Amino acid sequence: MEIPYTVKERKDTGLYNAKLGIWLFLASEVMLFGALFSAYILLRVGATPGTWPHGLLNVPLGTLNTIVLIVSSVTVVMAWASLKMNQFGKWRMYQAATLVCALIFLVIKSFEYHDKLTHYEVVTKEGDKHHVYDGHLVQEDKDKVVLHPSAHRLYTARAIALGFGPEPAGAHAPADHGAKGHAEKEALVTIQRSTIEHMENYGPKHHPYLAIYFTLTGLHALHVIGGALVMAFFFGPGAKMWKTDPERFTNRIEISGLFWHFVDLVWIFLFPVLYLL
Amino acid sequence: MQYSHDTHNHTHEAHDHEEMGFWTKYVFSTDHKWIGIQYGITSLLFLLFGFVLMGLMRWQLAYPGTPIPVFGPILEKMLGSAAAGGVMSADLYNSFGAMHGTIMVFLGIVPLAFAAFGNYVVPLQIGAPDMTFPRLNMASYWLYFLGGVVMVISFFLPGGAAQSGWTSYSPLATIIPTQGQTWWLLGMVLLINSSLLGAVNFLATIIQLRAPGMTWMRLPFFVWAQFVTAFLLLLAFPPLEAAGVMQLMDKLFGCSFFLPTGLIISGKVADVSGGGSPLLWQHLFWFLAHPEVYVLILPAMGIVSEILCNNIRKPIWGYKSLVYSLFAIGFLSFIVWAHHMYMTGMGTAISTFFQTTTLIISIPSVIILTVFFITLWGGSIRFNTQMLFTLAFLVMFGIGGLTGLPLGFNFVDLFLHDSYYVIAHFHYIVAPGTIFALFAGVYYWFPKATGRYMCDFWGRVHFWCSLVFMNVVFFPMFTQGIAGMSRRMYDGGVNYSQAANKGLLGALPDSAIYSNVIISIGAWMLLLAQIPFIFNFFWSMRNGRKVESDNPWDATTLEWQTPTPPPHGNFAVEPTVYRGPYEYSVPGAVRDFIPQNEIDNKGKAKAPKS
């Protein structure tokens, strides 16, 4: 028994099976990411006015990553086109280029994650007075914590409740915090451990913005990893099929390419939504 | 295309399978028919399991606080303090309730209606050798199986299984400290991925593998129903997966997707960032769960149309109306979800919108049911077991559908929301509705799958007992609900009864409380009424009366034009289709049916050589 249209297209639909399959799969992926984007919208609309963070992410790095992915979607097309033109050598080059782009993207992304996970908000209490510090962790031991105050921060409900909110709170906000902190950027803050009431990094727990940021980009990164693994397989052991069944192999490259384009497209939406807006 | 040309039907299977080992043939099979059977038996077992959970809960509702006879000590042994002294604790009641819903919907009916019948029948009906992606098909079954295992294991965790209803509303679902909910979410992610693979496979199969001549308007209605169902699963499930991932983030990483600012748990402000939205969960959940209702009902309608035409020996009246109604339902089912949320305070404008779409979607549903009733007109009906179930479906589904209309109006829903009325409405659609259609399907296609009939006598016993007790169970719930009984009460409403609140206006009348006992007895009898079916099912596999031909019901669709049971690859000769699916009693024909692959009406099979 053989299943028809696995390689050749069916005349009335103009598709071979796997191509239809991947388009259907991508339709469901649109709904998956669509749901997360609508979650983003609801969280943002529902946030206390003035507390949704802006400029928290590194725009130059994000732009670089966008360019990396766009380049990869060009190489992915070129890879498929090379096979169509029967140029296996060129295909290898383009396939490798795509894989390198995927790797660069993930490395840059992990630097961005690291930046968020070493960024802390520290609430202290001395006597009756609360204080909120915010910055990147420089040094930490069992007596004290040293932070490097950051120009870009967000305001948690906890900080706002203690009177350390973004705007009108400026009157009694201490000098070392706030968006105007550029001038004090260099000054390190040392905090005694014994006074710390609460210390939390900019992980997904910290704020709904970070929660949706990590969820969206994490899920996207999983897609990048998945796509890269499949393409790496085609680059390595999977490439043997070129000798036995070149047309089917070309189809496989087309399918993985379609998936890859989708992953790029998701990023094209993620970038402005999370970095710019 | 390469087909086997062996014409000796019954030697076929042995011939095709002789090189396969036990594992590839029975466990990790890629044959759509065997996967269909795997799905079917697994999901029937889950249906039984889900029913037993409810059987136990019904004791607590009828006789609150008393030890469950026989099963109480067993529960205590298995689950420990949750069933101390054989009495169902409130926590256990909650988790049984949540898991009853989850198991029945996601592990029972959807896999049976969509995956089992769809897998077995769809490729046969469109004349395909198998599904488009046989290995994905296998993966789909095993993901489903794993999801089921995760759900079952969660009962034995400390604290038990998920407790916050099959709807798992946050914040409640998030802040319950036991691990049941986390396992529920993991199980759901597996099930969602399983149904995703299934949906892609079904759509690709129906679009790509139709036999020559099988044009869209010659598809049996069952295939159409599965086609639309697959689209619903494909597009509606991912948002629930997204919601599941977010709830998992809330549970595992302490995020606040669904937890509002200032959330107070047991008198203390919760240690969460807040800023989340409980409504977001409900929107995403119901965005799946309303189309899911149609996932439950559409395959059932498909089965009904096949059996109906076959047993009244008439073409269906209004085939195209059926198909277009299906599409209307499929489309509209994506924009009615918030009628489950009238009580959340999402605003009157939004409520009005969803009230309008909800009432519009009832139109195509009514068209479908009307078409079925008109089809009956003037037919000479064969009352075999599957036809009895089918006819009962029409009436029971009618009751379920009509009682849903008041719930669609948001001013009536204010009163009926979350009451037993809702339970009765929903179960009339799914239990004596969908499940009856599924039983009908089992009786109808059993001879194709096994080469033997199920016993008609025990089929009738099963049918009449089920019909009576279904109504004993669900009909009184309408009156309980209208009397004001909430669906969430662990003691069956005793604390709110007139007996407990003398003279209090609006307290539950005694009749509502007494009904609990009647309903419970009905439920247990209904459980017993399934014994003839279970016995019949397994006994007939080996000992049932043998079929005389490959087409024992004189049906027109292609699955009956194969050897019995169909071999690997299905058709001895690739079929070509010349006519529509329901050509019964065509004037001038020698027989009262003309199979889809016959050229003329002289009764001779005219399948050309491949």
In a domain, B610, yes or no: yes
Chain A residue with Cα closest to B287:
A35
Indicate whether this complex's ipTM tops 0.90: yes
* Nearest-CB residue to B255 (from A4, A33, A204): A204
In a domain, B556, yes or no: yes
* Per-residue pLDDT tens digits for B73-98: 999 999 999 999 999 999 999 999 99
Cβ neighbourhood burial of B205 (10 Å; 0-12, 13-18, 19+)? buried
Q: How deeply is B52 buried, as exposed, middle or buried, from its count of CB atoms within 10 A (0-12, 13-18, 19+)? A: middle
Higher pLDDT, A181 or B370: B370
The superfamily (CATH) of domain A22-47+54-116+208-276 is Cytochrome c oxidase, subunit III, four-helix bundle (1.20.120.80)
CA distance B595 to chain A (A): 24
- Flag whether B239 is in a domain: no
B558 is a domain residue: yes
DSSP readout, A41-102? HHHHHHSPTT-S--S-S-HHHHHHHHHHHHHHHHHHHHHHHHHHTT-HHHHHHHHHHHHHHH
Q: Is residue B581 part of a domain?
A: yes
- What does the pLDDT read at residue A190? 92
Q: Do A27 and B276 touch (CB under 8 A)?
A: no
DSSP annotation string for chain A:
---TTSSSPBTTTTB-HHHHHHHHHHHHHHHHHHHHHHHHHHHHHHSPTT-S--S-S-HHHHHHHHHHHHHHHHHHHHHHHHHHTT-HHHHHHHHHHHHHHHHHHHHHHHHHHHHHHTEEEEEEEETTEEEEEEEEEEEE-SSEEEEEE-SS----HHHHHTT--SSGGGGG--TT-STTTTGGGG--EEEEGGGEEEEEESSTTS-HHHHHHHHHHHHHHHHHHHHHHHHHHHHTGGGGHHHH-HHHHHHHHHHHHHHHHHHHHHHHHHIIIIII-
Q: Do B208 and A24 touch (CB under 8 A)?
A: no
pTM: 0.93
Handedness of CA B57, B63, B67, B69 (dihedral sign): negative
Q: Do A2 and B284 touch (CB under 8 A)?
A: no
Q: Is residue B102 part of a domain?
A: no
- The domain locations on chain A are 22-47+54-116+208-276, 119-201
Residues A76, A87: Cα–Cα separation, whole Å: 14
Give B158 or B2, the one with higher predicted confidence. Answer: B158
Checking if the pLDDT of A172 tops 50, the result is no
In B530-603, beta strands by DSSP E: none
Does residue B583 lie in a domain region? yes
- Chain B contact for A45, CB < 8 A? no
Q: Which residues in chain A have Cβ-Cβ distances shorter than 8 Å to B132?
A: 3, 17, 20-21
Whether B254 and A15 lie within 8 Å, measured CB to CB: no
Q: How confident is the model at residue A187 (pLDDT cuts 50, 70, 90)?
A: confident
Q: Which residues of B touch A24 (CB under 8 A)?
A: 199-200, 203-204, 234
CB contact under 8 Å between B273 and A158, yes or no, is: yes
d(CA B332, CA B378): 33
- pLDDT band of residue B345 (cuts 50, 70, 90) is confident
Interface test with B, best of A22, A32, A37 (most B CBs within 10 A): A32
Range of the domain at B562: 552-610
Residues of A in contact with B274 (CB under 8 A): 157
Statement: residue A182 has pLDDT above 70: no
8 Å CB contact of A211 and B255: yes
pLDDT band at B602 (very low <50, low <70, confident <90, very high): low
Question: With bands split at pLDDT 50, 70 and 90, how would you rate the model's confidence at A186?
Answer: low
pLDDT of residue B221 exceeding 90, the answer is yes
- Residue B564 pLDDT grade (very low, low, confident, very high; cuts 50, 70, 90): very high
Put simply, whether A157 touches B (Cβ < 8 Å) is yes
- Please tell me the predicted confidence (pLDDT) of residue B23: 87
Check whether A93 has a pLDDT greater than 60. Answer: yes
Average pLDDT over residues B109-113: 97
Round to whole Å and give the CA distance between B576 and B468.
Answer: 44
Whether residue B568 lies inside any domain: the answer is yes
- Number of residues written out for chain B: 610
Q: What's the number of domains chain B is made of? A: 1
Q: Which residues contact B415 (CB under 8 A, 6 or more apart)?
A: none
Assigned CATH topology for domain A119-201? SH3 type barrels. (2.30.30)
Tens digits of per-residue pLDDT, B488-506?
889 999 999 988 888 888 8
